[in-house]
Structure formats: C-alpha cells, structure tokens
Amino acid sequence: MTVPELSVRDVTLRFGGLYALDDVSLTVEPGSLHALIGPNGAGKSSCFNVISGLYRANEGTVTFGDHDLTRTRPHRLARMGIGRSFQNAALSPHSTVLDNVMLGRFALTHGGFLSCGLRLPWTRREERKHAERAAEICDFLGIGAELHAPVGSLPYGAVKRVDLARALAVEPSLLLLDEPAAGTNAAETAELASTIHDIRDELGISILLVEHDMGLVMGIADRVTVLDFGRVIADGPPADVQADPEVVRAYLGSENAEAG
C-alpha cells in the first residue's frame, strides 16, 4: 500500500485573541519519522488537535494525500488510515486491555445494536478475527499477558502501551503520537524509542511524534520541526536543528538551564 503525505500548510489557530498556532507549515514525508518539539505551550498539542480534527483551524489547510483534513470530521480520520495516541492515554479505565484496543478496530468492523445484540454468526466471526489481530498487536507491544486485565489496574508504562496499541489497531498509514514517553521512567522511555522505531521499520508507515524527551527524539527522528510560541522556528534533520542557535536559545537553552 502507498502511504500518503501529510501536509500542514499555513495553519493559524486562535483562541480569542491568543495565537496558539501562527502560520505553521510542515510536511511529513511518506514513511518518515517526524518529530514536533518545542517548549511547554509552544502549540504542539494544538497542532496535533488540528490535524486530528478536534480543533478547527482559523486559516490554512491540512491535507493527507487527497483528503482535506480541515474539512473532515474527526471520526472519519480512522477510516483514512490515521491513528493517534493521547498525552493522557484517554482510555476506559474499567474496561479490559483487549476491549480498549478493540476500539481501534471500530472503523474496520460493522454491526449495530441488533446484530451485536443477537450475536449473529457473521458478527461473532468478525469479532473473533479482529480480537485475534488486537491480541497480536498487544503481544508485539509486550502487553499480551494483560489482555483481560482492566486498564486501571496496570502500571503507567503499560497504560501508555495500551494507548499505542489502540492507535496501531486502526491499521494506520500515519501514526500520530502525542508525548508517548510522558510520565514513563528512563528504562521505559528507551524501550519505547526502540518500539516506535520498530513500528516504523516493520510497517513502513509515517509517524508524527510530539515529544518532550529530547534524547528520544534526536535518537530516532528523521526530521524535526521546532515550534515556539505557535511559530515554526526550525525544520530539518535532527543534527541541523540541534545546532540551530535559535532552537538552542528558545528550547534547548531553557531546558539545559532548568536541568542545570
């Protein structure tokens, strides 16, 4: 299958008089691992929410192949092959891991109240087939032993993996990851970095990653876009961006100062 290009062009997002995004453009090349970084409040999550249709941009367009995402309602995105994870995981804590991951199969399955309620043979067959696939994905992400555990009973690192599994269950050609390492410890972060890298290599899909953890980003990203106060201040390969004085001042500088 071909992976379309994601193109964000001249997007502006205002909340009242406040500019959350100011004329932001970026392109995620097919099959690339693209990172979006920036200090707190730089507009990374806003940018994500515009792409996934949760916020409406005031100006500009977002296109995914031939689809204009700025005119698309959010629940259409899964059908176009866009999967997304969430900063706060956004799972159903009382439901099992399998049930949460199966939500990712929603757009790929069929059946309403009556066919589910009557447990028609084709509904059960479909359910079984997709549950097997969901279990495979969980196994790949190392949470296969917890399929029937409620998400609320898992440690945070595993919860983030369930969120990732749900996004993968959409069978995306573009995966949007919103701070997958947030709240996880150093060892978990390292594992996660290799998992993300594996996903891209195995599936050949594009990944757009919003991340705080610089180590993770610089280690695996093909390309990095830096946002500051809603504007793009740098865009390029990790090494170039790291050397960019403006980035150092706006982001790395302040981060280092904090760390020091």
Partner 1 sequence: MSEIATKSPPEAPERAPSPKPRRDALWWVRKALWLVVLLVALALPLYLEAEWLKAGQYMMVGAVGAIGLTLLTGQAGQLSLAHAFFLLAGATAYTVLSGPTGDPELLGFGLDPLLALLGAVAISAVLGLAFAPVAGRLRGIYLGVASLSLVFLGLYFGQAAENLTGGTSTGRPPAEFSLFGFPFSNEGDLEILGVPIRETERVWYLFLALTVIAFLLARGAVGGRVGRAWRAVRDNEPAAAVMGVSVWRAKAGAFAVSSAYAGLAGVMTVLWFDLLKPDESEFGTYGINVSIAYLAMIIIGGLGSVPGALVGALLVNGLPQVLALYSTELGWSTGTGEHAFTPILISSFVYGAAIILVVLFEPGGLAAIGRRIAGRLSGKQRERNGS
Partner 2 sequence: METFVQLVVNGLGKGAVFALLALGFVIIFKATEVVNFAHGSLVLFGGYLVVTLRDSIGWAGAAIVGVVGAGLLALVVERLLLSRSKLADPFSLALLTIGVDVIVTEEIVRRLGVSLPFIGDAWDAKPIQVGGITLFRTHLVALVVATVLITLFFLAFRYSNWGIAMRAQAENKEAAALVGIRSGRVTATAWLVAGLLAGVAVLFIATQDFSGAGLSRGTHSIALAAFPAAILGGLDSTAGAVAGGITVGLVDALATHYVSFAFAKSAVFLVMLVVLVVRPSGLFGTRETTRV
44 to 63: interface string for partner 2, x by CB under 8 A: -x---x----x---------
Q: Which of 87, 189, 206, 225 binds partner 2 (CB under 8 A)?
A: 87
Q: Does 256 bind partner 1 (CB under 8 A)?
A: no
Q: Does 64 bind partner 2 (CB under 8 A)?
A: no
Q: Binders of partner 1 among 132-191, rule CB under 8 A? A: 132, 134-142, 144-145, 147-148, 166, 168, 170-171, 191
Q: Does 251 bind partner 2 (CB under 8 A)?
A: no
C-alpha span between 26 and 35 (Å, rounded): 11
C-alpha span between 34 and 31 (Å, rounded): 9
Tell the smallest beta-carbon distance from residue 172 to partner 1 (Å). Answer: 9
Q: Does 100 bind partner 2 (CB under 8 A)?
A: no
C-alpha span between 62 and 77 (Å, rounded): 12
> Based on CB atoms, which residue is closest to partner 1, 21 or 102?
102
**Contact, 142 vs 161, CB < 8 A?**
yes
16 to 45: interface string for partner 1, x by CB under 8 A: ------------------------------
Tell the smallest beta-carbon distance from residue 136 to partner 2 (Å). Answer: 27
> Based on CB atoms, which residue is closest to partner 2, 32 or 49?
49
> Based on CB atoms, which residue is closest to partner 1, 204 or 237?
204
Q: Binders of partner 1 among 85-124, rule CB under 8 A? A: 86, 90-93, 95, 98-99, 102-104, 106-107, 109-114, 116-119, 123
C-alpha span between 155 and 112 (Å, rounded): 34
Interacting residues with partner 1 (CB under 8 A): 1, 52-54, 73-79, 84, 86, 90-93, 95, 98-99, 102-104, 106-107, 109-114, 116-119, 123, 127-128, 131-132, 134-142, 144-145, 147-148, 166, 168, 170-171, 191, 194-195, 198-199, 202-204
